Amino acid sequence: MAVRRKYICKVVERLIKDQCIQAAPIFVEELARALGVEVQYQPADDKLSGFLIRDFKNHCAVIGVNSSHHKNRQRFTIAHELGHFLLHEGEKVHVDRIDYSFQVKLRNEDSSKGINLEEKEANYFAAELLMPASFLKKDLTNMEMLDLLDEEGLKKLADSYRVSTQALTFRLAYLGYIQL
């Protein structure tokens, strides 16, 4: 099974349309709330990014975010957990840790493959949501391509989306605007 890129794009597109979001930055916490998901912040050890606790009966959930992390990273975590909420049937409690890859190695291969796929999909969803392709296209036509190769130009664009320059660089490369 591969990451369902087309399907995820559709889900994000619909979300942006339904919520009448027209420009970056995407306010992920407000978006989560509109979907019945409450966001809570708490400092935690560096390896914990966040978690998702679902209430299947009432179709709502709570996302926990590590408030010790950089604001941009917290936004990515919220978007990632929202991805699990919208894309995956999943378990009642889902925890995302950096040392996760180590944990999945302990499971049998088939189930770890499934888990890795869900993580990839949640990351893909987060990138799509925080940096929608259509928004980037619009912003980039107003921007000289030379600026994109300039670190300051890249940082400015990343700031307007409230994402890290690294996340933006990967996204631009994925969309074919730059080569890594």
**Which residue lies nearer to Zn ion by CB, 73 or 177?**
73
Q: Total binding residues for Zn ion by CB under 5 A? A: 3
Which helix (H) or strand (E) element contains residue 40? strand 37-42
| Binding residues for Zn ion restricted to 101-160, rule: CB under 5 A | 119, 122
State how far the Cα of 90 lies from the Cα of 80, in Å rounded to an integer.
Answer: 14
CA 145 to mean position of chain CA atoms? 26
**Which residue lies nearer to Zn ion by CB, 119 or 128?**
119
Q: Which of 26, 69, 96, 168 binds Zn ion (CB under 5 A)?
A: 96
Q: What's phi and psi for 75, nearest 5 deg? A: -65, -40
**Which residue lies nearer to Zn ion by CB, 29 or 119?**
119
* Least distance from Zn ion to the Cβ atom of residue 149, Å: 33
CA 107 to mean position of chain CA atoms? 25
159 Cβ neighbours under 8 A, 6+ residues apart: none
* Least distance from Zn ion to the Cβ atom of residue 84, Å: 5
Binding site for Zn ion (CB under 5 A): 96, 119, 122
